[in-house]
């Protein structure tokens, strides 16, 4: 077997990505209520960071890119960037798109189209 | 040959443990630096793959802790991270790491080559 074949690890990726999303989702609500909530920020950043690495290793580059944008956006807010309502919405929608992509990977063995959410996060003022 | 793999991400722990076991290595894992030091207090591996960014105690803190025991058995440490900034790699090497691999963009064959480079092959 090719040592670089990743197909047998897809189930592991789906499982652990979902575990991180389950940790993030309640914190997204807390973050939306209060974007200065440090616990929420750290959980969201860690979740996005982990899914980023996992997705990229598995070859799901767009999913990884979206997770990276989410990580950077919330990290910037944790470091003092302004969290406008538009940014909060983009973060929430971004994680919804991440979840959709993981579901699509599971069912169809390909990523969902997340370019719109990536662009929205890239357009946010730093 | 025993490898201690230290990474807070369960996916990366399971993924690389599985692949390294398939290559014939005996793999033990730790989820953070504190667990890694507890493992090392009981037995020393032949090599360690050490993630740099972890909660509770990160890879840099592990390297610092290990450098305070110069008399203990040395083993190769390969830092294993998504960080790729040269200054982080250089810092880890100055603190005792022998090499660095990017765990996301890494070709698994290269990882095995690096392990074999630093640890003589034994009955694999």
Q: What is the 3-state secondary structure (H, E, C) of chain B?
A: CEEEEECCCHHHHHHHHHHHHHCCCEEEEECCHHHHHHHHHHCCCCEEEECCCCCCCCHHHHHHHHHCCCCCCCCCEEEEECCCCHHHHHHHHHCCCCEEEECCCCCHHHHHHHHHHHCCCCCC
pLDDT per position as a tens digit, B52-77: 888 889 999 999 999 887 666 689 99
pLDDT per position as a tens digit, A71-113: 999 999 999 999 999 999 999 999 999 999 999 999 999 999 9
pLDDT per position as a tens digit, B72-108: 668 999 998 776 677 888 899 999 999 988 888 767 8
Q: Evaluate if pTM is beyond 0.80.
A: yes
Partner residue opposite B109 with nearest CB, options A3, A13, A56:
A3
B70 to chain A nearest CA, in Å?
34
Binary contact (A46, B105; C-beta < 8 A): no
């Amino acid at each position: 077997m090719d040592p670089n074949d990743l197909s047998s690890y897809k189930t592991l990726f789906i499982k652990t990505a979902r575990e991180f999303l389950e940790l993030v989702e309640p914190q997204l609500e807390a973050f939306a209520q209060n974007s200065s909530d440090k616990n929420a920020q750290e959980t969201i950043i860690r979740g996005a960071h982990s899914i980023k690495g996992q997705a990229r290793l598995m070859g799901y580059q767009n999913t990884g890119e979206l997770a990276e944008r989410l990580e950077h956006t919330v990290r910037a807010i944790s470091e003092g960037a302004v969290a406008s309502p538009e940014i909060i919405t983009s973060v929430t929608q971004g994680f919804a798109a991440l979840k959709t992509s993981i579901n699509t990977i599971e069912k169809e063995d390909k990523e969902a189209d997340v370019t719109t959410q990536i662009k929205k996060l890239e357009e946010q003022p730093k | 040959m025993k490898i201690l793999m230290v990474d807070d991400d369960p996916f990366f722990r399971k993924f690389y443990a599985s692949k390294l076991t398939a290559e014939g290595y005996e793999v033990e894992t730790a989820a953070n630096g504190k667990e890694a030091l507890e493992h090392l207090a009981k037995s020393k591996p032949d090599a360690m793959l050490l993630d740099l960014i972890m909660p509770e105690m990160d890879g840099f803190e592990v390297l610092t802790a290990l450098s305070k025991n110069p008399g203990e058995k040395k083993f190769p440490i390969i830092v294993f991270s998504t960080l790729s900034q040269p200054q982080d790699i250089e810092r880890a090497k100055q603190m005792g790491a022998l090499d660095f691999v990017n765990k996301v963009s890494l070709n698994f064959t290269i990882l095995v080559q690096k392990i074999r480079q630093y640890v003589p092959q034994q009955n694999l």
